[in-house]
Amino acid sequence: MGYSQPLLLGSLGLLFALSIVVLARLQLLTLRYTLGWFLVALTIGASEALTGLAEPLADALDIRPIKLLLGLSLTILLLIAVQLSITASGLIQTLRTLTEAHALTDERIRRLEQATGGDASASSTANDKPVPS
C-alpha cells in the first residue's frame, strides 16, 4: 500500500479543514458548525490511522475495518444532516413568526399614525373596528 493512500487522505482532510477555516473567517459558519465539520475533516485526514484503531472492534464484530469506518462516517454525516434539518425547521418557524409579527406591528403603527395625523399611508376608508388589545 505504501504512503500514497494516507498521504492522499491526509491531504483531503487538510484541504477540507482549510476550507472550513476560510468559511468560518468569512462568518459563513457559526462556531458550532465549524467544530462539527472540523470533526469530519479530522476523520477524513486520520482515516488511515483510524482503520488501525478500528481493527480490534471490527474483528470483534466480524466485519472489515474499512466497512466499520464507512458506517461510522455515514452515521456522523447523517447526524449532522438531521441536526441541520432541525435547525432549518426551527429557522423557518422563526422566520414565519417574525414575518407575522412584523405585519401586525406595521399595521398597528400605520393605524396609530393615522389616528395621530402622522404620515400615514393607510386609507381613511379602512375598517371601523379594529380594537387594539
Partner 1 sequence: MLAMAASDVVVIIPAHNESATVADVVRAVRAEGFPVVVVDDGSTDATGELAEQAGATVLRLVVNLGVGGALRCGFRYAVENGYRIAVQCDADGQHDPANIRALLDAMSTEHADLAVGNRFAGDDAMEISRSRRFAMRVLARAAKRATGQPIEDATSGFRAIASPLLGEFAREYPTQYLGDTFEALVASARAGYRVVSVPTTIHARQGGVRSATTPASLAFLARALLVVKLRIGIRFRSATEVEGCRSEG
Q: Footprint of partner 1 on this chain (CB under 8 A)? A: 95-96, 99-100, 102-104, 106-107, 111, 122-123, 125-133
Q: Mapping DSSP to helix (H, G, I), strand (E, B) and coil, where does residue 23 land?
A: helix
CB of 30 to partner 1, least distance (A): 22
CB of 132 to partner 1, least distance (A): 7
CB of 82 to partner 1, least distance (A): 16
Look-up of cell digits 476560510: 22
Task: Compare residues 4 and 116 and give the one whose CB is closer to partner 1.
Answer: 116
d(CA 133, CA 12): 60
Query: If we measure between CA atoms, which residue out of 71, 54, 73 comes closest to residue 12?
Result: 73
- Look up residue 110 and give its three cell numbers: 400605520
d(CA 6, CA 45): 8
CB of 109 to partner 1, least distance (A): 11
Task: Compare residues 27 and 125 and give the one whose CB is closer to partner 1.
Answer: 125
Task: Compare residues 118 and 130 and give the one whose CB is closer to partner 1.
Answer: 130
d(CA 127, CA 125): 7
Task: Compare residues 83 and 93 and give the one whose CB is closer to partner 1.
Answer: 93
